Structure 1
């Protein structure tokens, strides 16, 4: 039920995730940060079974850091996305598949900002914007219509708020709290909380 989304702008990527932890009809908390930093300029948000999400994303993050320690340089966002996809596919064919849907975002100096959609079956796509979870049923058309690759940070905040208002209006399950970050070539920004009024 979690909502994940990310999109690219002019020299940055915005990545956001629902901050509510819930199961069945219960809400456990509304400050859950689903973001995991992978490199200095990339990160991932995940949704799915809570145990799978935490364990798999920590596994990927630690292995990406191990790669940096062994080789002396960080992987690009493209490389991180493909490494993660390979691990999803390998675990899918083992006895311990992870039920985790992800959105990966980053901003490399040579390439610029990028966003990747990755589902639990290992389907990886680079896109200008990506949405996971039930939110994808409501936000795909809105992002298709209003997203522009050269948008400013302020325009990105406005678009994010439009997306959250659309979810509040049309989705039966309340997702009022989101945590988002900007990622640019200088690194991952501080988490910012947003609440739909």
Structure 2
């Protein structure tokens, strides 16, 4: 999922990759950098979304360097227009909709339009929203997100909101689990957090985890 707050965006995801009832990877990273200021949340087929992310990253970075008279700043990294990255991703998803099982979220911050969140679900549509959710766990939290979302949250409020939403999805969805990863992007740069299961908010009727010494 991703949400736009007053000064930036927060992306969040669980870390479970499953194959049917088998957990293939309990600590995968579903939030992938496209450019320095634009990241992608991936759901669906891991193989499909990993390849789409790599292809979009190459195209977007080539474009960013080609339109910059000075090229990329070695200290800042390559920065892209968020909407451009979303449009490239949407075009690939739509043109290959019969061959891809890929749901993606593009979110980031640029100087032109500020913080932006774009949802690109299965089939290749594209929608800009204040927040968007995807993947199997999203079905369990749509109502909660609609009920509790507020415009212009602070960074700390947005991070807490995303963390709570993903913890609820993990509690209800067998295909979601593991750690919670957060990526926060604003004008100052990018920061990452990882919330281990023992640190995640408890949901209804859950027992607190026993911390082993």
TM-score of the aligned structures, taking structure 2 as reference length: 0.80
Give how far 1:147 is off.
Answer: 1.5
Which of 9, 17, 27 in structure 1 is aligned with 2:13? 17
Asked if the contact 2:11/2:183 (under 8 Å) is kept, the reply is: yes
Aligned to 2:80: 75
Rounded to whole Å, the distance in 2 between the matches of 1:164 and 1:35 is 14
Normalized per residue, the structure richer in strand is 1
Give how far 1:149 is off.
Answer: 2.3
What is the aligned residue count?
190
Which of 28, 32, 36 in structure 2 is aligned with 1:32? 28
Asked if the contact 2:107/2:118 (under 8 Å) is kept, the reply is: yes
Rounded to whole Å, the distance in 1 between the matches of 2:51 and 2:96 is 12
Note the alpha carbon deviations across 1:32-54, whole angstroms, 9 max, x for none: 11222122211101112222121
Rounded to whole Å, the distance in 2 between the matches of 1:165 and 1:132 is 14
Rounded to whole Å, the distance in 1 between the matches of 2:140 and 2:170 is 10
Structure number with greater Rg is 2
Aligned to 1:126: 128
Rounded to whole Å, the distance in 2 between the matches of 1:127 and 1:34 is 20
Asked if the contact 2:13/2:166 (under 8 Å) is kept, the reply is: no
Rounded to whole Å, the distance in 2 between the matches of 1:152 and 1:167 is 23
User: Is 1:88 aligned to 2:90, yes or no?
Assistant: no
Asked if the contact 2:3/2:9 (under 8 Å) is kept, the reply is: yes
Aligned residue for 2:192, secondary structure, equals coil
Give how far 1:29 is off.
Answer: 2.6
Rounded to whole Å, the distance in 2 between the matches of 1:181 and 1:34 is 11
Rounded to whole Å, the distance in 1 between the matches of 2:23 and 2:34 is 28
* Residue ranges of structure 2 left out of the alignment (5+ in a row): 72-78, 203-213
* Residue ranges of structure 1 left out of the alignment (5+ in a row): none
Asked if the contact 2:12/2:163 (under 8 Å) is kept, the reply is: no
TM-score of the aligned structures, taking structure 1 as reference length: 0.86
Note the alpha carbon deviations across 1:61-97, whole angstroms, 9 max, x for none: 111111122222753111211121112122237xxx3
